[in-house]
Structure 1
Amino acid sequence: MTARQFRVLVIGGGYAGVMAANRLTSRDDLTVTLVNPRPHFVERIRLHQLVAGSDDAAVDYRDVLNDRVHLLVDSVERIDAAARRIVTSSGATLDYDYLVYAAGSTGAVPASVPGAAEFGYSLSEWEPATRLTARLNDLALPAPVVVVGGGLTGIETAAELAEAGRTVTLVSTVVGPSLSRPGRRSVTSRLRRLGVSLLDGEGATVTAVGPDHVALADGRLIASAVTVWAAGFGVPGLAAASGLTTDGTGRVVTDETYTSVDDDRIVAAGDSAAPSRRPYRMSCQASLPMGVLAADTVLARIAGEAPVTISVPMTAQCISLGRRAGTLQVQRADDTPIALYVGGRAGALIKEQVCRWTVKWMAGEAAEPGSYRSRKGPVRGAVPADEAIGVR
């Protein structure tokens, strides 16, 4: 008699999705299909290098996916949880026994800021980043570039472009809000040495974006041949549109085993998951182990075992400041910063090693499923009973 084959679908081929798909191949009685809109893996932590011309930010899936994972290049339009089926943009339907939701995150260019969607360029995903790259390639080096957003993406983009010879202004109410005071000083000092003009404070709130300028709340108009919008991330609307319980941002609400509060056949990981309604910081640091732990939950259920509850420790923020400097901000396990950082050339070397190791960890799990091990993070509470039904 032929043994039953369990069908597992993974939505999203980013850091969490790749790790989950690879981990799932540790069982021979699973067929694993990864659905992703692109035929290659995108190193999102290198997209700022793509736009500056120092890296292509792409990895062949053959280098990071186990041979048993079937890659379907398509987008998911709808999840029918009751029927355990997905519908893709090409019109295909795929049935599943278990679903891993790892749809990742997207750039959030607000419609509330006039002109931002029309004239602003995002670099949070492959397609907008390549459009930004093409625009910069057509632009003379002295032409002014404005980067909106003082988070890690905005900081890294401003530094990379300035080091490449661009005239860059970074606009944000706070530069490096997730950093400690010493870490922030390290970052802003390096940005200024690269020639980046820093505009911060409440008056630096962007109120409008035009074809050749950015307007600020204090009335200033900043010349801008290209405006890069790096102020915040969102998530795809697929989960909410499919009727799954999501948080206010659209992340799938799960328990601490990453199981959807609606359906124990659906697990979520990475940027689009909200365990106990307290999502981790959007990062590959969280997404890699989350993908593994989500897969472990599926494997446990197939084996008839209770899934384990393990949280993810957040140890640091790694920031590149061009190719020759960086800042490693040390964090507590709960992701709050402490007054300790590594800067300069050492910071750059650490950041580059982190980027390389993310690919190595994925490739290692592909070559030997089950080999990746994650340290245990701080204890986190369960989803409160009165929050079991969330925002949809």
Structure 2
Amino acid sequence: MRRDLFEADHEALRETARTFVEREVVPHQDAWLEQGLVDRSAWLAAGAQGLLGIAAPAEHGGAGERDYRYRMVLIEEFARVGAASFNAGTCAQDDLVVPYLMDLGTPEQRKAWLPQLVAGEAIGALAMTEPGAGSDLQGIRTTAVRDGDGWRLSGSKTFITNGIHADVVIVFARTDPDAGSRGYSLFLVESAAEGFRRGRKLEKLGLRGNDTAELFFDDIALPATALLGTPGRGLGHLMERLPLERLSIGATSYAFARAAYDWTTEYVFERKAFGQPIGDFQHTRFTLAELSTELDIAQVYVDRAVLALNDGSLTPVDAAKAKWWLTDLHNRVVDRCVQLHGGYGYMLEYPITRAYADARIQPIFGGTNEIMKEIIGRDLARQHRTDG
């Protein structure tokens, strides 16, 4: 299907990104998977090529370009070579940490961190999830209490993308237990702070080249300048930025599902059985026809969502729809592609096998797909009550 989403400037970035991926990513992926993290040298190389923090203002080293189509280009180029782990890290940095700083940071906070993040000299993380609180963010136990002009932060987080490498972490904490949804705030916590402690680098089913970690905050003394955004508005700040986070997950799923389909199409017309390419068997053709059609439909939706994000009209409900539908599709596509690979689809030397493991997290993080359906369902019920 013809795709009209991208313009000449986006395709120019694609050329740069493709060269970077072939030179700085492809040769090192096996090593990153074995060690469980992407080398910092790759982050620095990405920064040097202008592939990080594209949305950041020019005075902080970025391109000042919030058009999400540029990020979509990068996601697609990572997907083309199966670089899910590096993509996960850069999505956390560019679709979460950088926008939070841009939107909520003081001039001093932006000046301190954005240039480093854009250059790849610093790596950022967003810490929301706790061992007993995943999708239920109001169930967190991490607290920040007033201490003179500053704060004291105590608690722990888990499943934190970029947790081992992170130089700065945006931490979601409870600041007033009696204020309900107005009792949470965000803080910028430097990894060098006394009392900051990294726990285990977690062993995962997929995304094994990304450093996912436990983080501990042992009575950290934070200055007043560590507060990010408005005190008591932490939950609201998160909710306001969920459309971008969930579109990032959905866009990733679309790109990686498309890549899995492309690898599989190439494979089935090279692999022979019973004297002919397995792509010439009717069952294979029917499977490819179904996947191709579903991916074309998904492409229309994700492209529309990207443009809606750009013009500020992407609602939390529409983002939830994109997240659950695209991540479910991602898993269906990869599962059927593994089947078409036969026994080789179970061998880790084949990218489709790694893709199968990498895909499984997509319906879980960023809010489980069950939560996405609840968000959509509540909106439908609200509309029905209003219309009635």
TM range (shorter): under 0.3
Asked which structure has the greater RCO (Cα within 8 Å, sep 6+), the reply is 1
Bigger share in helix: 2
Higher share of residues assigned strand: 1
